[in-house]
Amino acid sequence: MDKLLISGGACLEGELRASGAKNSAVTILAASLLANEPVTISNVPHLRDITTMIELLVSMGVEVVVDEKMNIEIHANTIKSFVAPYDLVRTMRASFLVLGPLLAHYGEAEVSLPGGCAIGPRPVDLHLRGLEALGAIIEMKEGYVKARVNGRLKGARFIFDVSTVGGTEHIMMAAALAEGTTVLENCAREPEIIDLADFLNAMGAKVSGQGTDTITIEGVESLGGCDHHVIADRVEAATYLIAAAATGGHVKMRDVIPEHLDVVTSKLRESGADVTIGEDWIDLDMRGRRPKAVSLVTAPYPGFPTDLQAQFLAMNTIAEGTATVKETIFENRFMHVHEMNRMGAQIRLEGNNTTAIVEGVDVLQAAPVMANDLRASVSLVIAALIADGDTVVNRIYHIDRGYEQVEEKLQNLGAKIKRIQSR
Ligand code: EPZ
């Protein structure tokens, strides 16, 4: 397994372009199964999760053409099998999202249950209840969800018990081809949901209300081809801005959608950074200063994203003062804490491991570290950038799932980082 070797101490400086959003792209690839004609998707990041989703589509007989710029053309109507096997769903939970589109378009699907993962149990009960509300007949057998429908799915009203990004996306996709109107309430409002709705509407769907907590979908009989440009990855962009703040640096992120990062830029200002915002860029200048501690509570959008909690925690380890960081979305998303403490951080977990109290120290010390989740892993890269000495971050295949060319991008900003490839 590859590792990253990072020599701490560099102050990050320079400009970067944000990649396309992983969490939008994986869902849009699943949604392409709804189309009767070829669709083309651009601004897709070159990442392991994207390759997994393409592999899944290809395993079902779907023709997928990828060019050198990662423009992806998908011919869903070449499909031959409606099965998403355990081996692929296990490696990426988002592949479960093919269930709804397969069912809505072809009337049947057999998709492995994703199971838990490092950050918590992550159930899919609301996905299944939403599909059942639309008339799906669902059976669990040997770890698989076997779903079918007599005729077409039928529009219905469905209220989500909790705000779920994947659940909202899943039922939106299925409802696009249902007979009649679906009204979804207590929906998640993340920008990736708006991107998916834009993709569905470009194919001829009738989705409205995306970005609010009530989404209405007037089902149509069929969906056609379209070209779609995926939105910028707000989590990737913010990760580099936080890394810049933590190292006292100055970084400008280009090709971003600044309004998607309002809560994050306000937290970065709280850390003492000068943040300037343009139409499609964000410039952060820490002017060599030590960041101030920033407390936060994760929440569904537009609240503070759980996907940036670990990165802020890394910055807080060397900040001036004490920060309280509360995780409310996932049960087990503090695995980076123990690794950071091994580097000399002063973090204690309270409240049944839902809250981290971080007392800023002057400096972290290098140590071999690893994590079992994407954002925890990248937070250790930030910790390594501010540590004294050479840190080896192990198991970086997690980072490769969500950060395109991470070492090249960080090298461009002046970081001393290199990949150690294992055979
Ligand atoms: C999406 O996961 C993202 N993944 C996650 O990003 C992100 O952390 C998460 O949303 C929250 O923003 C993708 O978009 C591919 P949820 P998702 O359903 O959709 C509970 C990353 O690092 N819930 O919004 O799976 C669930 O357990 C990843 O890029 C149910 O109870 O998250 C959690 O507590 C990690 N029943 C809460 O809802 C359900 O049926 C929110 O989860 C579904 C969810």
Distance of CA 302 to the CA centre of its chain: 15
pLDDT at res. 120: 78
pLDDT band with cut points at 50, 70 and 90 for residue 341: very high
Q: How many CB atoms lie within 10 A of CB 148?
A: 15
Residue 36: pLDDT band (50, 70, 90) is very high
252-308 pLDDT per residue, tens: 999 999 999 999 999 999 999 999 999 999 999 999 999 999 999 999 999 999 999
The answer to whether 187 is a known catalytic residue is no
State whether the beta carbon of 339 lies less than 6 angstroms from ligand 1: no
CA distance linking residue 203 with residue 228, whole number of Å: 9
Cβ atoms of 298 and 326 within 8 Å: the answer is: yes
d(CA 387, CA 267): 22
Nearest CA to ligand 1 atom 8: 307
Using the atom order of ligand 1, give the atom closest to the CA of residue 129: 40
Determine if ligand 1 sits within 6 Å of the CB of residue 26. yes
292 vs 423, residue with greater confidence: 292
Q: How far apart are CA 38 and CA 324, in angstroms?
A: 49
Q: Is 306 in the pocket of ligand 1 (CB under 6 A)?
A: yes
Q: Is 92 in contact with 46 (CB distance < 8 Å)?
A: no
284 forms bridges with which residues in the sheet?
Answer: 251, 275
Report the amino acid identity of residue 352.
N
Distance (Å) of CA 308 to CA 116, 142, 334:
21, 36, 12
Please tell me if the CB atom of residue 171 comes closer than 6 angstroms to any atom of ligand 1: no
Mutate to test the pocket of ligand 1, among 165, 230, 309 (most ligand atoms within 8 A of CB): 165
What SS3 class is residue 202? helix
Q: Can you list the positions of beta strands (E) in 279-406?
A: 281-285, 296-297, 322-326, 346-350, 355-359, 364-365, 369-370, 387-388, 390-394
What lies within 8 Å, CB to CB, of 155 at 6+ separation is 134, 175, 178, 179, 180, 181, 182, 217, 218, 219
pLDDT in tens, 60-80: 999 999 999 999 999 999 999
